[in-house]
Each structure stands twice: as C-alpha cells, then as structure tokens.
Amino acid sequence: MNFVSLHFIAFTLVTVLAYQATRSVTARQWVLLIASAYFISTYMLDIKSALPLVAFLGLGYVLIVGMSATPSRVYVAAAVCLMIGSFLYLKQFFFLTAVGLPFIYATVGLSYVLFRIISLIVDLSNQDIDGKPSPAAYLAYTCGFTTFLSGPVQTWTSFKSEYEKPPAPITEGEVLRALSRIATGYFKLAIVAAAFDYLFQNFSVQFGGSAHGLPWFKTVSLYTVSAAAYTGYLYYNFSGYMDIVIGIGGLLQFKLPENFNRPFSAKSFLEFWQRWHMTMSQWFKTYLFTPIMLTTMQRLPDPKHSAAIGLFAFFITFLVMGIWHGSTAVFVVYGVLMAFGACANKLWQIAMPRALGKPGYKSLQKRPVYIQLCKGLTFAFFTLALTCLWTPEIGQLFGLAGRLGLSGLLVSLGALTLCFAAVDTVLAPVAAMEFNALSGLETRYRDAWTVSRCAGVILAVVFVSAILNKAPEFVYKAF
C-alpha cells in the first residue's frame, strides 16, 4: 500500500475513526489487529505468499511460550539462533538463494519482526518483562501496521503500556499536533525526498552505464553530487515516513518512539548513530553491543583492555548492522565501511586526549571550525558509504570505485565535508530562529497555522506527485 495514495488515506481514516469511536480497550485492540492484518495483506500476492511470515511469527510465539520461567542459556541461544537462521533463509542471504522456497513470498517487514521477537525472547529470559504476551498482544506488537514496514522498533514494555492504557477522549490539540506531524511527514516524503530523488536520478545517469568516456573530474563531480542527493533522498524519505506513522500513532493516542533526532547535527560518526534510526541503533546496542562488551569485560576485567574490547564490540556491531541492510555481497562492504567508521571514530576519541591532554582536547572540541569540520566529515563519510545502497551489484560498486580511484574518493570526501560544513554554518542558525518563532505563536494562531499548513501540504503533495508523475515509494521497506 503506497503511503501517497487514496487507498492509504482512506484506510488510515477508517482505522482512526473506528478506533476513536469506541471507549473499550478490547475493542480498540481489535481495531488495531484487523487494520494491521488488512495493511499487511496488501503487500501479499496471495495466501501462499503470506505463509512464510505466518510460520515465522508462529515459530517465534512457540519459542516464547515454550520458555520456562528461568530458561537455560542454551535454550535462549538456540531460540535466537533459530529465529536468525529462519530470517536468513527467508531473506535469501548470500548462498541461501540456491535453496529457497519454490514459490514467491513477501519478506517486507520481516527484519523488524525479527527484532521484536528476539527482544521478547531475551527480555523474558532476563525477567525484564513480567508475563508472556497473549497471542493477540504478540501479533499487535510484532505486526502493528504503524511500525510493521520499517519501525520504529518499540520495546515490549513501552508497547504494552500504550496497548493496555485506558482510553481518554482525544482533544483538538492532540488531533492538530498529530495532523501537523503527518503533514510534515508527507512534505518530507512526497516533496523534499522526491525532489532529491529527481536530482539523484538525473545526475547519476550522467556518469553511469555507457558514460565511461567522461573526464575524471566530471565523473568525480557528478558522483559527489549524486551521492549527496541520495543521502538527502534517503533521510527525507525515511524520516518523512517516520513522521507519518508517529502522527498516525498520535491520532490513535498510541505513543511511538522517535527514530531521528537531527542526525546531521552529529559531531561524530558514533553520535550520528545515536541520532539516525535511533530505535534500531538502540536495539543493536542492547542486544549485541552491550552483551559483547559485558561478556568480554568480565573475561578481561583489566581496564587497560577496555579500548580494545570497545573497538572489537563496535566492529562486530556495525558490521552486523551494515549486513542487515541487505542480502547481497555489497552490503558486506557497507557493513565493513560502517565498522571502519565507528572504529576510526573511537580510535580518534582515544588518541586525541593522549596527544593533546584532556583539557586540550576539550578545548579543541569547543572550537566552531573543529565542530563544523567534524559534522562535515561525518556527513561525507556516511554519504560515501551509502553508495553501497544505490549500486546493488558488487561488480558495479568496485567498477565505480575503480573509475574514481582513491584520489577521486578523497576529493569527494573533502568536497562533501567542506560543502556540508559551510552550508550547515549558514542554515543551522536560520532553522533555530524559525523554530523559536513558531513556538512563540499563541495557541489560536498556532492552530490556524497548523490547519493551513496541512491544507498547503495536501495540495503541494498532490501537485508535485502529478508533476513527477509518480507517487514516491518508501525506500527503507526494502531493508
């Protein structure tokens, strides 16, 4: 179901009205379940194509229900490995393409279902959760339509409190805030991201394919601009989608966690991942990074090993996080780049205080030029690494890298760093001023402004979609 379609608008409207029409918690839970089942069914070709998802969910529930009150580590490890193995099989990772199921099936949303099932298994085993979920609650948690496609990855505790809370009458303020958030989401998704995609398509076609006779400098320039355009497209597409689902959650009075917090204001690669796709980062931090750290530090308790352990944990976590994005070899490269970025960042954070002394490093970190260059380099590295997401074949990726050469990649990195730093220096204060001006508006003007903004966005989305002659797709549902 395309988010920029009358079908989705009608579906959301019917669901919200049905949900708000009842004051019964059980009735509201049923509305969510039925709506989610319908939403997911629109991604399925037929009943057969839904069977793998049903089996995956069933396996997860059996493993959860089968867990004793104090399960052994072997059981927990086996359960997690079984779920991951099933996931790798269904997503046809690498060599598993040779032994796939003999029919077409949908894997949309499977990654996020896996996250939720693993978190349930681990948290239950650690007694971080009281009581096992009922089948209905389990399905609503793993397959809720607002978070099914690409998150946010909500913890069971947070979900349960929203799922079971007694209904309260929705206020006009809540509706306006939710609509405002949805309008922001559609503006980002259908206009800003679509504009970046337009730029990306038109720039990237000029150096791809048969355009191999281009001069080196032109190839590097076109590549740099294309890569930057793709980053803009990805960010506004994904964060726009998040705004829409969080806004819909608002209309359902169902609070969802944020997934983005101004990621391009990050002053380091590690900070970037605390601001970009936050719920996924948090999940990997909780269920991979921290267990690796805890286990290894317990075995090697001497503090002088901390740095090495940290680098090891970062490397594994980011490598897995990168590979998670896709089932082909190019995503291994992406994972390696992510891991390299995290480790390089950590090494810098360890080395600089030693080189400059703690006060010297603290002083350097406060200098505006240093801050802007760090932001620029973070953006530049992430942008170049994202090349893996738009060159799906590894041969193409290496071919492109060969044409650019190391010098081309460095020129690209440098240009992106400096341009971003310069643009951010100008735009960041402007954005802050705008935000302050808006939050100063009186409530009645703010409400009128919200209604006007929503109306304006509806028209703008309709016009831009017609101009570009396509409704924008949500890119992250492919991961």
Partner 1 sequence: MQQNEKLQRIFRDVFDDPTIELEPTMTADDIAEWDSLSHVRLMLEVSKAFGVRFSASEVSSLNNVGDLQALISSKGGA
Partner 2 sequence: MIVVIRVLSRVILLTAALYAGVVGIAAFLAPRGSEARAVDTRTAPSTVYATATKYLMFMQPALREKGRRVIILGASNADLELRPDVIGRTVRCATIDNLSIGNENITELYQTAQIAVKNRQFSGDTSDVYVLGLWFGLFGDSKARWNGPGRQNNESDLDIEFQRYGNYRKAGDFYESRFGPEYESVVNGLVSPFALIEKVFREATYRARNFFFIRPDSRTDAEREAAVVSEAERAAAVAYWQQQLGSREHLAPAQFELLAKTIKMLSRGRNKVIVVDLPVPNWWDAAVPMNREYKDRLAALETALAGDDAVRFVGLSQYQKPENFSDEVHAKPSVATMIGQDVAKAINASACESTQQTSLTR
For residues 173 to 192, the per-residue mask of contacts with partner 2, x marking binding by CB under 8 A and - elsewhere, is --xx--x-------------
By CB under 8 A, is residue 21 in contact with partner 2? Answer: yes
Which partner from the list partner 1, partner 2, none does 11 bind, CB cut-off 5 to 8 Å by kind?
none
Decide: is 122 part of the binding site for partner 1 (CB under 8 A): yes
Structure tokens at 340: 């390299």
Question: CB of residue 303 vs partner 1: minimum separation in angstroms?
Answer: 7
Q: Whose Cβ is closer to partner 2: residue 16's or residue 113's?
A: 16
- Asked if 301 is part of the footprint of partner 1 (rule: CB under 8 A), the reply reads yes
The dihedral region occupied by 405, where left means phi > 0, alpha psi between -120 and 50, and beta the remainder, is left
Using rule CB under 8 A, residue 282 touches partner 1: yes
- Backbone torsion region of residue 94, taken as left when φ is above 0, otherwise alpha when ψ lies between -120 and 50, otherwise beta: left
H helices within 66-134, ranges in order? Answer: 73-90, 110-125
User: By C-beta, is 364 or 401 nearer to partner 1?
Assistant: 364
Q: Is 442 in the site for partner 2 (CB under 8 A)?
A: no
* Per-residue contact string for residues 130-169; x = within reach of partner 1 by CB under 8 A: -------------------------x--------------
Return the number of the residue (179 or 342) whose C-beta is nearest partner 1.
342
Report the partner that residue 169 touches, choosing among partner 1, partner 2, none (CB closer than 5 to 8 A by kind). Answer: partner 2
Tokens found for residue 327: 């089932």
- Binding-site member from 5, 24, 126, 202 for partner 1 (CB under 8 A): 126
The residues facing 260 across adjacent strands are: 276
Give 298 or 469: the residue with its C-beta nearer to partner 2. 469
Decide if residue 20 touches partner 1 (CB under 8 A). no
Burial of 434 (0-12, 13-18, 19+ CB in 10 A): exposed
# residues contacting partner 1 (CB under 8 A): 29
Site for partner 2 in 110-169 (CB under 8 A): 169
- What Cα–Cα distance (Å) separates residue 296 from each residue in 38, 114, 119, 293? 45, 25, 21, 5
Smallest gap, in angstroms, from Cβ of residue 292 to partner 1? Answer: 9
DSSP letter at 205?
Answer: T
| Gap between the Cα atoms of 137 and 147, Å rounded | 14
Q: Does 4 bind partner 2 (CB under 8 A)?
A: no
Cβ-in-10-Å burial (0-12, 13-18, 19+) of 235 comes to buried
Cα separation, 284 vs 282, in Å, equals 6
Instruction: For the CB of residue 389, give the shortest distance to partner 2 in the complex, in Å.
Output: 19
Q: How many residues are given for the chain?
A: 479
Which residue matches tokens 């949303």?
A: 109
| Residue 179 or 293 with smaller CB distance to partner 2 | 179
Question: What sign does the CA torsion over 414, 419, 420, 422 have?
Answer: positive
> By the 8 A CB rule, do 479 and 388 touch?
no
Is the CB of 9 or the CB of 62 nearer to partner 2? 9
Cα 456 to the center of its chain, rounded Å: 27
Place of tokens 């393409």: 97
Binding site for partner 1 (CB under 8 A): 119, 122-123, 126-128, 155, 270, 282, 285-287, 289-291, 293-294, 297-298, 301, 303, 306-307, 309-310, 346, 349, 358, 362
| Residues at the interface with partner 2 (CB under 8 A) | 13, 16-17, 20-21, 169-172, 175-176, 179, 202-203, 206, 251, 451-452, 454-456, 458-459, 463, 466-467, 469-470
